[in-house]
């Protein structure tokens, strides 16, 4: 064994930009290519926007302008502008910024002075312009390196800060912006900041009613059991209603930051709702019955908040501030008083809420008996039918650094599951094998999940019976053949998740595995193609008459080949629910009785399918 040396030569110091570029995930989370809402390119936008929002919160500038031109972004606010003598320091020196002065930014989004520096370091081009009292300072960087330091000049422009940047293509490979993700960010900002107007590529975004508007836009208003209850106080705003969907749905924010992973404030909100309802009806209803189908939003402002990551997706603070009350106590007191008063003043809402709770209670009791039989089948199935080939690292084991890589592939048939099982990474990738086509559960109640062996075992394998808190895999991947039967199985699984576990989809855990349709090769080179156009391009590149193989089933792909498709270059298409998506209409269209609208669509698009078959 070669001798390993450890001397002064092994010690290396990185400057700020080198460290950010070497470990970008520490600063902006996952990188991605822009196909998911939490990919790094959107975090870069957020980091710049946060500074502009803080200016508005401090009473400076009511308009923010955002422009996206191909792969470049410009964000312009009308705040006070960065002090001209500190412009370069504020975008290129870690731990430099006005937010360390708690008097100026007492309840700011970001306090660590890293955000804009990370954007600078991770951009091919980064330009900052600050305008204050008729003077402007401009500086240009490339990947964090200062390239141009302009002198302060006179200007007639209004006060504010302008930042233009283009993400580094060597870090964010093949990235592209999806406008709906940027719009979603913008809507969250305007919901939380009454009076703020944000303009994005010429379109204006504005909200008058805050979190009430948020719930009405993001939820299916027609399915609400009662009008949104909306309460606002000092440092807190909440909105509550109940729908008809399964699961719970929350939108939580701290100092204007969307905490997608929740935290102490969201948990306190959930507990506060239960307490308020029990107190009002003077009955100890089960917490799960009270929260069944709830849609809620909470926004709090915390002094010097503590987040559990640089991307600020989960609040860790226990108190509202160094000398403030506990988060739990503050939220519980506010919700208890406001919700209780509202229910007394609005008996129709109180009656509708009570009916929803009683309906959830009835369904839970009906399921209780079925659960016992399901658990007996579960044990037997686990002993005699190894449907789940587990991995060693799970999502809920937070102490492991690779927990976010944990993935389960849902397959159909022995050949497909066999190929993936042999090719997978046993540390982070599991395989769940279905037997035949799953049940079409559209329009059925949740007790069918326990009555149907396949669906019950799938629920058990994911550990989602009680919600997402104990979800075992970060990525749940539907992996079916690229033929008609495979597409049908995909739709049946999507129906299962959307019908009974929509929060799994909303939280971004559900994906579709894309596998190659064709292999094009000659003696020197092989191309794997995911579409007809890619196949044609491969044929042109190879020339002559290369061998073309059409993969119709996952089992046709050898384990050695499959390893390349579920490794670092895995292609996953996230299943996304956009604002205002009407799940009932969507599921009815695809999985309900053959409606005239669907018949018309099939007839009009049948020729396209024929053409594709003939080409293939």
Taking each helix axis from N to C end, the angle separating 484-500 and 583-591, rounded to the nearest 10 degrees, works out to 150
* Pair (175, 226) in one structural domain: no
Q: CA 464 to CA 335: how far, in whole Å?
A: 28
**Residue 312 scores a pLDDT above 80:** no
Q: What are phi and psi of 250, to 5 degrees?
A: -130, 150
Confidence of residue 243 (pLDDT cuts 50, 70, 90): very high
* Pair (188, 256) in one structural domain: no
**Residue 266 scores a pLDDT above 90:** yes
Q: What digits encode the pLDDT tens for the residues 449-480? A: 888 888 988 998 999 987 888 899 999 999 98
Whether 6 is in a domain gets the answer: no
As a whole number, mean pLDDT of residues 323-335 equals 91
- Longest CA span, the chain: 81
Q: What digits encode the pLDDT tens for the residues 548-571? A: 999 877 878 888 888 888 988 888
Q: What percentage of the chain reaches a pLDDT higher than 70? A: 88
Q: CA 528 to CA 535: how far, in whole Å?
A: 8
Q: Provide the pLDDT for residue 466.
A: 79
> Helical H runs in 205-263?
211-218
Whether 380 is in a domain gets the answer: yes
Q: How many residues in total does the chain contain?
A: 616
* Pair (193, 232) in one structural domain: no
* Pair (389, 522) in one structural domain: yes
- Element of type H or E holding 578: none
As a whole number, mean pLDDT of residues 430-450 equals 89
Whether 353 is in a domain gets the answer: yes
Sort strands 510-514 and 257-258 into parallel, antiparallel or unpaired. unpaired
Provide the domain limits for residue 85. 16-205
CA 12 to chain CA mean position, Å: 36
Least reliable range by pLDDT among 23-27, 250-254, 492-496: 23-27
* Pair (328, 433) in one structural domain: no
Q: What is the pTM of this model?
A: 0.76
CATH code, domain carrying 311: 3.30.230.10
* Pair (310, 357) in one structural domain: yes
* Pair (505, 578) in one structural domain: yes
* Pair (146, 194) in one structural domain: yes
CATH code, domain carrying 81: 3.30.565.10
Which of 164, 188, 205 is the last residue before a domain boundary? 205
Confidence of residue 2 (pLDDT cuts 50, 70, 90): low
- Element of type H or E holding 526: strand 526-529
Q: CA 316 to CA 327: how far, in whole Å?
A: 10
Tally of domains in the chain: 3
Which of 314, 331, 362 is the last residue before a domain boundary? 362
Whether 406 is in a domain gets the answer: yes
**Residue 321 scores a pLDDT above 90:** no
CATH code, domain carrying 533: 3.40.50.670
* Pair (154, 248) in one structural domain: no
* Pair (148, 287) in one structural domain: no
Whether 131 is in a domain gets the answer: yes
Q: 565, 325, 229: which is closest to 429 by C-alpha? A: 565
As a whole number, mean pLDDT of residues 435-449 equals 87
Whether 450 is in a domain gets the answer: yes
For the chain, first and last CA: distance in Å?
54
Q: Provide the pLDDT for residue 382.
A: 55
Q: Provide the pLDDT for residue 384.
A: 41
CA torsion 250-254-258-261 (nearest 10°) is -60
DSSP label at 464? -
Q: CA 109 to CA 495: how far, in whole Å?
A: 38
Q: Provide the pLDDT for residue 310.
A: 57
Q: CA 171 to CA 449: how far, in whole Å?
A: 43
* Pair (183, 242) in one structural domain: no
Which of 185, 205, 225 is the last residue before a domain boundary? 205
Q: Provide the pLDDT for residue 399.
A: 55
* Pair (347, 440) in one structural domain: no
Confidence of residue 581 (pLDDT cuts 50, 70, 90): low
Whether 357 is in a domain gets the answer: yes
Whether 2 is in a domain gets the answer: no
**Residue 290 scores a pLDDT above 60:** yes
């Amino acid at each position: 064994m070669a001798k390993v040396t450890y001397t002064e030569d092994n010690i290396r110091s990185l400057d700020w930009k080198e460290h950010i570029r070497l470990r970008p995930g520490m600063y902006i989370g996952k990188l991605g290519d822009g196909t998911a809402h939490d990919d790094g390119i959107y975090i870069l936008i957020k980091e710049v926007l946060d500074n502009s929002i803080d200016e508005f919160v401090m009473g400076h500038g009511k308009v923010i302008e955002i422009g996206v031109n191909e792969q470049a972004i410009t964000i312009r606010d009308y705040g006070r502008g960065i002090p001209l003598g500190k412009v370069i320091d504020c975008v290129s020196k870690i731990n430099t910024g006005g937010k360390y002065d708690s008097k100026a930014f007492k309840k700011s989004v970001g306090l660590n002075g890293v955000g804009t520096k990370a954007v600078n370091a991770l951009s091919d081009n980064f330009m900052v312009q600050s305008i204050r009292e008729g003077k402007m300072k401009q500086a240009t960087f490339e990947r964090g390196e200062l390239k141009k330091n302009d002198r302060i000049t006179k200007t007639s422009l209004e006060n504010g800060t302008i930042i233009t940047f283009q993400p580094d293509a060597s870090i964010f490979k093949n990235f592209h912006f999806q406008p709906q993700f940027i719009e979603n960010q913008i809507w969250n900002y305007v919901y939380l900041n009454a009076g703020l107007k944000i303009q994005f590529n010429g379109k204006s975004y504005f909200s008058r009613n805050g979190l009430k508007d948020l719930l009405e836009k993001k939820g299916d208003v027609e399915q609400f059991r009662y009008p949104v209850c909306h309460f606002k106080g000092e440092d807190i705003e909440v909105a509550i209603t109940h729908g008809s969907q399964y699961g719970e749905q929350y939108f939580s924010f701290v100092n204007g930051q969307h905490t997608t992973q929740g935290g102490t404030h969201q948990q306190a909100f959930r507990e506060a709702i239960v307490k308020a309802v029990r107190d009002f009806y003077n009955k100890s209803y089960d917490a799960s019955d009270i929260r069944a189908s709830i849609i809620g939003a909470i926004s709090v402002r915390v002094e010097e908040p503590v987040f559990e990551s640089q991307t600020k997706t989960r609040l860790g603070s226990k108190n509202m501030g160094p000398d403030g009350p506990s988060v739990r106590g503050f939220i519980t007191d506010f919700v208890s008083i406001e919700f209780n008063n509202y229910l007394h003043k609005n008996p129709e809402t109180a009656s509708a809420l009570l009916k929803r709770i009683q309906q959830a209670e009835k369904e839970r009791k009906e399921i209780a008996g079925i659960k016992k039989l399901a658990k007996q089948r579960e044990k037997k199935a686990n002993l005699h039918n190894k449907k789940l080939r587990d991995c060693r690292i799970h999502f809920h084991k937070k102490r492991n650094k690779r927990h976010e890589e944990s993935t389960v592939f849902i397959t159909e048939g022995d050949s497909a599951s066999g190929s993936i099982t042999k090719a997978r990474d046993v540390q982070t990738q599991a395989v769940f094998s279905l037997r035949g086509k799953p049940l079409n559960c559209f329009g059925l109640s949740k007790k069918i999940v326990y009555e149907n062996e396949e669906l019950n075992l799938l629920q058990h394998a994911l550990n989602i019976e009680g919600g997402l808190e104990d979800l075992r895999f970060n990525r749940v991947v539907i992996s079916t053949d690229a033929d008609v039967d495979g597409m049908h199985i995909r739709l049946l699984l999507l129906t299962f998740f959307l019908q009974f576990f929509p929060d799994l989809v909303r939280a971004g855990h559900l994906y579709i595995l894309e596998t190659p349709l064709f292999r094009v090769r000659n003696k020197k080179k092989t191309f794997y193609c995911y579409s007809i156009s890619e196949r044609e391009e491969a044929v042109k590149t190879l020339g002559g008459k290369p061998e073309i193989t059409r993969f119709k089933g996952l089992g046709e792909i050898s384990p050695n080949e499959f390893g390349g498709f579920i490794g670092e270059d895995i292609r996953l298409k996230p299943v996304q629910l956009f604002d205002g998506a009407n799940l009932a209409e969507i599921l009815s269209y695809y999985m309900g009785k053959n409606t005239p609208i669907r018949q018309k669509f099939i007839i009009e698009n049948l020729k396209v399918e024929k053409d594709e078959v003939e080409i293939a």
